Structure 1
């Protein structure tokens, strides 16, 4: 475990902005990660403000760090490794346990190479395995909650390791117990150590296509089964067309991917139990999507989800829209990505985010929420 003094955090994030940390410790093994977490415990269940907490960085794809940096110790999670085994209770199922610092897309690529289905629609997403369940990462009709069977974490409050099952993680759209506990405390309580997924395979393994845009790219119908390698190839091509596959030469990828989550709006029942139609609470023409329980797949009749990208575009912010002399701007390929055009600072990106958020709220009365974790910044 190697500490470095006053390291530049910008180089560790996909936004490529942010000041230095007070110190940085690289954890290359699970034991080193636990050692760091144990050395920096939470002393109480409530937020602390008298001293800086610790910052945990892995892939850096969901972080926007302030220009002043981070005043406390930071841990760079570089644990690696995959362990594959057949599920004894279900021979058609393969379990893979991945270390938290393992590159997410490396896991997806190897699962596809092994002819296993379950992760292929999540191809090309930057970041680490350990971060994926925090956000319940999802794309093209799939999300982490679909295949996760267990998760091991270190609890900085109790000083003990703990195993979580899916029902305990309280997955929802881009959220989980891990994310909510951090938001409530203002501090990271659970440090993910490893995650286990259940995948299925066999000769000619195929996946069910569950997203319209992906089906169109594959020349398939929704529900059709397509070889996992073809799904992965199509997903990566779609993501690349939106600037969502990391490329150092392409400033459209100097981002955190989708900056705002798709808003979820309530459909409250009246006294007789009748709920309004989704169209009645959304702007005219805005898309409406069901909000499904990740465990049952059933739609929640009291909620409707709409598209943040649609709201941004129809509030007048087109691709390439920029502030601050063009240092920070929307991607030229996709309006949901806020990007560093090469010389931006964190303050430039936050100003752009606030300008777009406030413009959408003025136009439609819907307040969008950021998806990345903001460190040393407020929006």
Structure 2
């Protein structure tokens, strides 16, 4: 149990980690929050996050629970998970649990593992926020990958420090600092072989692309990418608020949208409003192609048919259509007779 007995050494890395976690807790912890959980993989980032969180959350009287997901993708993964949980207990967490999961195949190994991991963490968190050890380096990789996809500003915003229930206190901390703190504590982080496998795009960005950019551009690239993501999130928050007002004006009592109201709005607001409407209506796996096709029902109307968006069922498709000056979102039977 976190009783204040665990202390971090007064090293530069410890001070960086403590400051980052303290700032996050001060901004996002709300009265009545029962505890905080940490997603602990056993790697350096999550171990350093756990250590700093035990100290800083403990100072606020908040217990810390460690949640370790065992993906079962490698021989001995159960042992690695058990060792991570044991280390967390030595750092002073209230509890440490191992969550075995079964990873599917949809979307590739990385995506399937991520889906299984977040589902397990969500089921086990018992109403608490879950802190994740993503660092500034991870943020830079995410922004760069989003830029390469070319799917708009939203894709290069990177990760938010708080996207309930997921908290990311270390987005301003370099990966080198988490490694140094583990060394200061005498911890031996687990080295996941997947993090060095070139078959994964993110690994190649980490080990090849970003180092080359740092060399060619003279350093500071990771910080610049992370800073760009933060600036875009600030801009997006304003645009999303304005789009929400537009959506409220355009929506009718039946849940449809008035084309005339949307057609006169700036494109950036109109598309955000359409996106929010589609998501609220059950659309999932929404792509830029879907969004632009629905937008064309407003701005380039030639009598075209509806646009199927993700979120249907085996029996019915979810379709956005234009009819009598309104956008509607309905499920259409998939049967051949339809």
Q: Same fold (TM over 0.5)?
A: no
Q: More strand per residue: 1 or 2?
A: 1
Structure-1-length-normalised TM-score: 0.24
Structure-2-length-normalised TM-score: 0.26
| Larger RCO (alpha carbons 8 Å, 6+ apart) | 1
